[in-house]
Amino acid sequence: MDYIKIKFTKESDQLSSDTGRGIEDMFRSMSPFFALPEGVWKPQMDIYETDEEIIILAEIAGVDKENLSVEINTRAAKIYGERTEMPRLKNSTYRLAEIQYGRFERILFLPAPIDADKVIATYFNGLLQIRLAKLPPDRTHRIPIVDG
């Protein structure tokens, strides 16, 4: 079975990709949490927020829930897993092969600190949705001074 790899890029896309890779490399050098093995693909994701929460939506169609993991800390979310390749038809020639298979991983830095104990993740129709409750903003407390 022969595959034809096709990649459409523009120079600006390549520059943006190189810049993103440089930033990821910088974080990987600081902590093993950010380590990304070679040959890993990145699913498309959206992050949006309300006053109370941050929502992550990941497009990972074809991934079994058992092959999907999520790790959260107060400032980042790591989503990783594996999409297994569909069985190929014998004696067929692929004319286009864009769907990526194998291991995937994304580390997303959150726009606000979250409560890691208040996270809800759901997976339906190939979309993973993670709802993260924001921590309340720091409040200033007036401390009374007493005679010592």
CB atoms within 10 A of CB 115: 14
| Segments making up each domain of the chain, as ranges | 11-134
Residue 115 sits at φ, ψ, to 5 deg, of -90, 105
pLDDT band at 46 (very low <50, low <70, confident <90, very high): very high
pLDDT band at 39 (very low <50, low <70, confident <90, very high): low
Express each pLDDT in 84-138 by its tens digit.
Answer: 988 888 888 888 888 899 999 999 999 999 998 899 999 999 999 999 999 987 7
pLDDT over 60 (residue 38): no
Give pLDDT, residue 94: 81
Residue 144: predicted pLDDT:
83
Spatial distance between the Cα atoms of 54 and 47, rounded to a whole number of angstroms = 7
Q: Taking a C-beta distance cutoff of 8 angstroms, is the pair 87, 54 a contact?
A: no
Question: What is the model's pLDDT at position 86?
Answer: 84
pLDDT of residue 138: 74
C-alpha closest to that of 107 among 29, 53, 54, 43: 43
Q: What's the CATH code, domain 11-134?
A: 2.60.40.790
Distance CA 112, CA 114 (A): 6
Confidence of residue 63 (pLDDT cuts 50, 70, 90): very high
Question: Is 55 or 17 the better-scoring residue by pLDDT?
Answer: 55
